[in-house]
Amino acid sequence: MAGEGRSKDLGKGLGKSGELDFPRPLTTVDVVIFTILDDSLQVLLMQRPAGEGEPFPLSLALPGGFVDVTKDRDLAACAARKLKEKTGVTSPYLEQLGSWGSATRDPRGWSATHAYFALIPADASVLANDAHWFPIRGGRLKDKLAFDHGDILATAIQRLRNKVEYTSLPAYLMPPEFTLPDLQRVYEIVLDRPLEKSAFRTRILSADMIEPVAKMRRGPNRPAQLYRLKKGSEPVYFVRTFNPPE
């Protein structure tokens, strides 16, 4: 950051703090919210409003909006606010994804958005009535999105998949209690390939991130041990990836 450089760039002398008078890009925050629903990875999208002057009227878009300098202490708080407004979830996994800024991404002018991505269990959310889940099949979304939100979503999917190879991130997509086969299924949904059962169990159990509860999941066959996330557990990083496909 600086003020330095700017006055030089323009090649003319500016009064003190004159450099603050230059055109400022629009600043927004968008959130890519993932969950697992119906045995599939899903993302939360909203329909753009139709009002006059609104860009991409009625298109699908990521939840987000302008940073409110009077309300948002910082970017993460702004992202958490959006998440809360749309899903009611307050304490999810929330990670910064990156930022996208250019002269052309928003017809209203030079704009930059700070993108976050969140993982929540589907059953923990109560959606705002203009928000809906959309399934991601084959690693992509069917629909076209407003702005460059398609790029942002693609990056988020890639980041999620990449990290799932060597971290415990899917744990944040689980309900409070779950079985190891449940967790493995979520890994497989995100990665879109089957994993080895025994290697999976060894890895997860030796990572010390979940603990058994004194209950079993009962069903039409052998009961499965229920587990919960150990509290305060940061994501775990494994020293190997699962063996990659092909």
> Cα-flanking dihedrals φ and ψ of residue 176, to 5°?
-55, -35
Site for a copy of itself in 14-43 (CB under 8 A): 16-17, 19-20, 22-28, 30
Cβ 32 to DNA, closest distance in Å? Answer: 28
144 binds, among a copy of itself, DNA, none (CB under 5 to 8 A by kind): none
Site for a copy of itself in 178-237 (CB under 8 A): none
- Of residues 107 and 223, the one with the C-beta less far from DNA: 223
116 binds, among DNA, a copy of itself, none (CB under 5 to 8 A by kind): none
160 binds, among DNA, a copy of itself, none (CB under 5 to 8 A by kind): none
The yes or no reply on residue 74 touching a copy of itself (CB under 8 A) is yes
What span, in angstroms and rounded, lies between the C-alpha atoms of 135 and 183?
19
- Which residues of the chain form contacts with DNA (CB under 7 A)? 179-181, 195-199, 201-203, 206, 216, 218-225, 238-240, 242-243
Cβ 207 to DNA, closest distance in Å? Answer: 9
- Of residues 219 and 232, the one with the C-beta less far from DNA: 219
Cβ 95 to a copy of itself, closest distance in Å? Answer: 10
221 binds, among DNA, a copy of itself, none (CB under 5 to 8 A by kind): DNA
In three state form, how does the secondary structure of 114-173 look? EEEEEECCHHHCCCCCCEEEEECECCECCCCECCCHHHHHHHHHHHHHHHHCCECHHHHH
12: amino acid identity, one letter: K
- Of residues 53 and 220, the one with the C-beta less far from a copy of itself: 53
Cβ 137 to DNA, closest distance in Å? Answer: 22
- What six digits make up the tokens of 118? 């969140």
Q: Is 172 in contact with 83 (CB distance < 8 Å)?
A: no
**Three-state DSSP state, 42:** strand
Among 33, 43, 61, 153, binds a copy of itself (CB under 8 A): 61
Q: Is 100 in contact with 148 (CB distance < 8 Å)?
A: yes
Q: Which residues make Cβ contacts (< 8 Å) with residue 73, sequence separation at least 6?
A: none
What span, in angstroms and rounded, lies between the C-alpha atoms of 175 and 129?
23
- Is residue 75 within a helix (H) or strand (E), and if so which, with residue range? helix 75-87
Which part of the chain contacts a copy of itself (CB under 8 A), choosing from 44-52, 131-139, 180-188, 192-200?
44-52
